[in-house]
Amino acid sequence: METAARKNRGPSAGPDNRRALIVAAREVFSLEGFHAPLSAIARRAGVGQGSLYRHFPDRLTLIAAIFDENIASLEVIVDRESSTLDDYLAEILEQALVSSALIDLMMLERSDDRIQHLRTRITATTGRIVARERASGRIRADAATDDVVLAISMFAALIARVPEAERRHTGDRAWSLFHAAFAP
Amino acid sequence: METAARKNRGPSAGPDNRRALIVAAREVFSLEGFHAPLSAIARRAGVGQGSLYRHFPDRLTLIAAIFDENIASLEVIVDRESSTLDDYLAEILEQALVSSALIDLMMLERSDDRIQHLRTRITATTGRIVARERASGRIRADAATDDVVLAISMFAALIARVPEAERRHTGDRAWSLFHAAFAP
Amino acid sequence: METAARKNRGPSAGPDNRRALIVAAREVFSLEGFHAPLSAIARRAGVGQGSLYRHFPDRLTLIAAIFDENIASLEVIVDRESSTLDDYLAEILEQALVSSALIDLMMLERSDDRIQHLRTRITATTGRIVARERASGRIRADAATDDVVLAISMFAALIARVPEAERRHTGDRAWSLFHAAFAP
Amino acid sequence: METAARKNRGPSAGPDNRRALIVAAREVFSLEGFHAPLSAIARRAGVGQGSLYRHFPDRLTLIAAIFDENIASLEVIVDRESSTLDDYLAEILEQALVSSALIDLMMLERSDDRIQHLRTRITATTGRIVARERASGRIRADAATDDVVLAISMFAALIARVPEAERRHTGDRAWSLFHAAFAP
DNA sequence: TATGAATGAGCCTTCATTCAT
DNA sequence: CATGAATGAAGGCTCATTCAT
């Protein structure tokens, strides 16, 4: 019985539950969108409703936690000296749905602190890769970080709205437009 | 207040109600997004719930009616011989939220007939303006209509997600990227 | 256009509409049960909602009108000197759903005048056929009309609840029980 | 008044709620029939709408739960060696409305598994009492269980449709018909 | 601290009934 | 008199959130 594994496991279950909730949230959100019932996430995580609320008092907090991980993985890429804007984009395309929602959120909930923080991080990260691209002459010298962020925003929003099957192909087409726009 | 006159105004109220519902839907959707409660739309239109359902049996039908009007206004612009892609874009920017939702829908509900039909219309309309731009040398000769549609999609999705105050400014920035991409 | 045939045809349409409504009601009720929306009946009759209400101010009135016709057809059978209780039953079986609903109504709405009247008629009619059966020795001399009415009630209620395909077979089985009960 | 205590009484209220819902459902259904609003049942049970749906996801599930209890009480009777078909009937008469609805359901929803199961149980139970009656010579040796089930069906359907005041009297009259039919 | 049932507000939808034309 | 749209009161159902255990 899988119910064996789930009883009151006491405080030590805390971190595990948190992880399980984030994983479940990713799955559920990517299947049903960001309006999916929270109860579905708790169920999928094998965690009580109450625990979900303890870890993530509202939907936005949970979403922010997901974004956090995604940004971290972008940072890892940028930390690699050899990485290019294309690598960066490839990861964003991978993250498709989440990236897009992150951007939506960054656009809309400008006042929320948690989101402010994510915005700062992603802008900084993007700034670093842009600087490197400029230095290596792969993009125009006067390409502004803000414009690249804008392009990425549009890119992410687009691919999240495309059915998975066409995502790569459409992503390539879209990005080649921006290649042209930023070409030296 | 629109709550004033509310009795059975008889069948002659039909067309008025239909109009009022579309107007209310535009307002409500633009304030709360396309998941806004239909009941709020009926209320704002000063119309009974039942009438809303008579005119628009489901959410998609109502949305399609809104799109219909929007596309019509794009067609009017393209019909004007002197109009340019920038004029076209200006109108899309005006329609902001609706345009974006239209595009979302065109991406997602590929199977629905009503949406299919809208897609056809908007592709045709865009094709006409693109052809004209190419002929006048304002964009690259090899610019594909599909790529322009893609750019417009991203553009519309972006501006819909930007707070109204920054919409024009952000729209300009974004579109200048595409200007660069399609420049001859 | 089929709307041609339906406009305000003036007062002369009254009786026609009444007939059409009863016919439509039979069809709709037999397909969807007696809780079917009245609007469906009006639609099927090709008649406005308002006209339905003019002719039949409430659901019960409409149902009573149907019953009226059914009882009339039972009376026709009994009027035929050669008819037997089995003929009578055959007609009831034919009327299945309506008969059963009639009986339900007779049981429940004891106070309603329209129903009182139907009850009187059906009891009288049944009394006549029972008397004849007794006289011809086909049933026990002490068989009471009331008991036969009771049996018919149960019979009708049963067959209305049986899927149409098994109706005849189940009806035969049920009635043979009563045959045994009333056998001389 | 059951409206008194209404707060979140915690999970321990679960079984109580379940019971209260079944009791309330019996009452409401017997007063208003099986189409009564479920919300009325929740209200009468002093339970939130949501709890009703947790325990009984749809109307049929709730009805099946009621039937379940009724059949159990029939089984108790049959388990008593000394019990007769008349005792059995007396209980069915007691259960009047529910018995009838059970039978309606058994007739109509032939495909539903929950109902299938109830049908099997009631047929088996009836079979046992019939066998005993036959053995003791109280009914004809060739009386088929199916015919007795049929008789019971009609009996139950009848008494459910009779106002409570006349139920016993009408029940007696009806059953005496079947007595005659099954007499040795 | 974790659990998961309880709660109830709110949305969608249907339909009986009214009434202007 | 007929028409058929308008109305709005319910009812079904879902879910975010609370809270006893």
For residues B21 and B41, is the Cβ–Cβ distance under 8 A? yes
Residues 32-61 of C with CB under 7 A from strand F: 46-51, 53-54
> pLDDT tier at D9 (50, 70, 90 boundaries)?
low
For residues B84 and B135, is the Cβ–Cβ distance under 8 A? no
Give the count of alpha carbons within 13 A of A62, CB side only. Answer: 30
Length of chain D: 184
Q: What angle do CA C102, C106, C111 make, to 5 degrees?
A: 135
Arithmetic mean of pLDDT, C31-56: 93
pLDDT at C106: 74
Query: Is D129 strand, coil or helix?
Result: helix
Between CA C74 and CA D55 the distance in angstroms is: 48
Instruction: Tell which C residues from 125 to 164 touch D, by Cβ distance under 8 Å.
Output: 146-147, 150-151, 153-155, 157-158, 161-163
B168 is written with which tokens? 């024009």
CA D129 → C1' F14, Å?
Answer: 46
Listed as ranges, the nucleotides of chain F within 7 A of a protein C-beta are 1-21
Maximal C-alpha separation, chain A: 62
From C147, C161, C162, residue closest to D173, measured CB to CB: C147
Residue A173 has pLDDT above 60, yes or no: yes
Neighbours of C184 (CB within 10 A): 10
Query: Is B35 strand, coil or helix?
Result: coil
Per-residue pLDDT of C80-115, as tens digits, reads 989 999 999 999 888 877 777 777 777 767 777 888
CA distances from B180 to A135, A173, B153 (A): 21, 16, 17
Residues 6+ apart with CB under 8 A from C87: C77, C80
Between CA A40 and CA D68 the distance in angstroms is: 31
The single-letter code of the amino acid at D179 is H
**Nearest protein residue to F5's C1' (by CA)?**
B11
For residues B156 and B92, is the Cβ–Cβ distance under 8 A? yes
Q: Where are the alpha helices (DSSP H) in chain B?
A: 13-32, 38-45, 49-55, 59-79, 85-108, 113-135, 145-160, 164-182
The enclosing H or E element of D168 equals helix D164-182
D161 and C108 in contact by Cβ < 8 A? yes
For the question of whether the overall pTM of this predicted structure is more than 0.75, the answer is: yes
pLDDT at D151: 94
Q: Which of B41, B14, B39, B13 is nearest to B26 (CA)?
A: B41
Which residues of chain D are within 8 Å of residue C157 when distances are taken between CB atoms?
A: 154, 157-158, 161
Between CA B127 and CA B88 the distance in angstroms is: 12
Residues 6+ apart with CB under 8 A from D91: D73, D74, D77
CA distances from D139 to A119, C31, C139, D85, D144 (A): 86, 40, 21, 9, 10
Q: What is the 3-state secondary structure (H, E, C) of D22-90?
A: HHHHHHHHHHHCCCCCHHHHHHHHCCCHHHHHHHCCCHHHHHHHHHHHHHHHHHHHHHCCCCCHHHHHH
Query: Taking chain B (184 residues) in consecutive chunks of 10 residues, what is each chunk's mean pLDDT?
Result: 45 81 92 89 94 93 90 93 92 80 73 82 92 94 93 89 87 94 92
Residue D39 has pLDDT above 80, yes or no: yes
Between CA C82 and CA D35 the distance in angstroms is: 44
Which residues of chain D are within 8 Å of residue C182 when distances are taken between CB atoms?
A: 180
Q: Which of B90, B82, B17, B83 is nearest to B47 (CA)?
A: B17
Can you say how many angstroms the Cα of residue B101 is from the centroid of all Cα atoms in its chain? Answer: 7
Of residues D112 and D43, more confidently modeled: D43
- CB burial of residue B80 (10 Å; 0-12, 13-18, 19+): exposed
Residues 6+ apart with CB under 8 A from C164: C96
Per-residue pLDDT of C158-170, as tens digits, reads 888 888 888 889 9
